[in-house]
């Protein structure tokens, strides 16, 4: 009888365990057989009704089945835990062949890149970087620079007037005056900054753009110093094989004055679209500081001389990066800026 009962327990257990899908059901089964009122616990209690000489054997048989039940339950538990873990891992799968996410890095504006190159060059040969105001007196922007009251550059068509005496500076040259006025000589400086002209916006003009002014004043400065400096500067910008041409020109605040052309770095002087077929590209204006300008700053032109130059920052950036439209510089379009 006991035998049959134990057999039945075993088969029903196997049947139940095979249908189990979760750990909580497993605990219910344990309680059903081994709990306080579980089937095997009850059988144990009934041992006292069995003939005395058969009791040890009956006890042994029940114990064996109990162990089996525990073993089955443990086995199933391990199986379920394993399955759960496998499923979790499957969901967490890492594809190590996926490309990594790129961090978005900021980009420098082309103007800023050129500015840093230029500053680095002049700092390396002992120049200082000096800044001046964007809203400037007529005196510094024109008069002290030897630009007379009736000069066409003073025309309202070119200059933004704040008042009779105050303008938005049309050039960085007034920083020359402000620096010389301080009376500390010698001077080797560059002055980068924003300038303003009442120009219509188009591919090569903007009412606001940037220049870098340069000024050297010392005893015995000659046109040869100007040439040497600007040749080295041009070759730094456009490559060491760049040819440099000084073309006579006129500026009110320099005498003699020149414009600097560099051999086209694209076609090496043969003539292409960039240099409009000429093989040369104009990059800056320069000259020996006019005696009138030195005098306006209380510097004796018989004792001191100097040279000056002015470069358009956008112009250099347009050329170097072969950008065709200056408006791109001011639109802050990320697709443009990301290229630098």
Applying CB under 6 A, which residues contact ligand DAH?
171, 173, 213, 251, 254, 285-287, 308-310
Give least dist CB 300 to ligand DAH, A: 20
For ligand DAH, the closer CB: 9 or 215? 215
Give least dist CB 252 to ligand DAH, A: 9
CB-count exposure of residue 52 (10 Å: 0-12, 13-18, 19+): exposed
Structure-token pair, residue 301 = 């032109």
For ligand DAH, the closer CB: 79 or 161? 161
For ligand DAH, the closer CB: 38 or 310? 310
* Alpha helices (H) in the chain, listed in sequence order: 2-19, 23-34, 39-45, 55-91, 110-124, 138-141, 174-181, 223-238, 291-296, 313-320, 334-337
Identify the DSSP state of 209. Answer: E
Do 58 and 47 touch, CB atoms closer than 8 A? yes
CB-count exposure of residue 248 (10 Å: 0-12, 13-18, 19+): exposed
For ligand DAH, the closer CB: 53 or 200? 200
Q: Please, what is the Cα angle at 250 between 249 and 251, to 5 degrees? A: 130
Do 145 and 177 touch, CB atoms closer than 8 A? yes
For ligand DAH, the closer CB: 33 or 309? 309
- To 10 degrees, what angle do helices 23-34 and 2-19 make? 170
Give least dist CB 126 to ligand DAH, A: 19
Give least dist CB 306 to ligand DAH, A: 10
Give least dist CB 265 to ligand DAH, A: 22
Give least dist CB 141 to ligand DAH, A: 10
Distance CA 318, CA 325 (A): 8
For ligand DAH, the closer CB: 76 or 210? 210
For ligand DAH, the closer CB: 39 or 314? 314
Q: Is the N-terminal amide bond of 256 cis, ω within 30° of 0?
A: yes
- Nearest CA-CA partner of 249 in 305, 287, 211, 292: 287
Give least dist CB 213 to ligand DAH, A: 5
Using Cβ positions, the residue closest to ligand DAH within the complex turns out to be: 310
């Amino acid at each position: 009888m006991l035998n049959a009962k134990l057999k039945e327990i075993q088969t029903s257990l196997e049947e139940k365990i095979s249908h189990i899908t979760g750990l909580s059901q497993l605990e219910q089964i344990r309680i059903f057989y081994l709990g306080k009122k579980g089937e095997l616990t009850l059988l144990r209690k009934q041992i006292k009704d069995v003939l005395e000489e058969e009791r040890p054997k009956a006890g042994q048989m029940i114990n064996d089945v109990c162990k089996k039940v525990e073993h089955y339950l443990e086995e199933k538990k391990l199986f379920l835990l394993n399955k759960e873990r496998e499923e979790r891992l499957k969901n967490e799968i890492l594809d190590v062949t996926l490309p990594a996410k790129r961090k978005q890095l900021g980009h420098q504006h082309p103007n800023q890149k050129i500015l840093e190159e230029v500053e680095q060059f002049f700092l390396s040969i002992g120049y200082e970087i000096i800044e001046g105001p964007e809203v400037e007196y007529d005196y510094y922007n024109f008069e002290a620079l030897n630009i007379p009251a009736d000069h066409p550059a003073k025309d309202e068509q070119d200059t933004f007037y704040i008042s009779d005496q105050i303008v938005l500076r049309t050039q960085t040259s007034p920083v020359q005056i402000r620096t010389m006025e301080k009376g500390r000589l010698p001077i080797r400086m560059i002055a980068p900054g924003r300038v303003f002209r009442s120009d219509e916006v188009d591919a090569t003009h903007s009412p606001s753009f940037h220049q870098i002014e340069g000024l050297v004043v010392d005893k015995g400065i000659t046109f040869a110093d100007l040439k040497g400096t600007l040749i080295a500067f041009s070759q730094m910008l456009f490559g060491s094989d760049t040819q440099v041409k000084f073309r006579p020109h006129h500026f009110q605040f320099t005498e003699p004055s020149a414009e600097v052309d560099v051999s086209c770095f694209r076609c090496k002087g043969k003539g292409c679209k960039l240099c409009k077929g000429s093989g040369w590209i104009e990059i800056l204006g320069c000259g020996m500081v006019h005696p009138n300008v030195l005098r306006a700053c209380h510097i004796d032109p018989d004792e001191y001389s100097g040279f000056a130059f002015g470069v358009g920052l956008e112009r250099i950036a347009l050329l170097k990066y072969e950008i065709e439209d200056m408006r791109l510089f001011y639109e802050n379009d990320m697709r443009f800026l990301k290229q630098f």
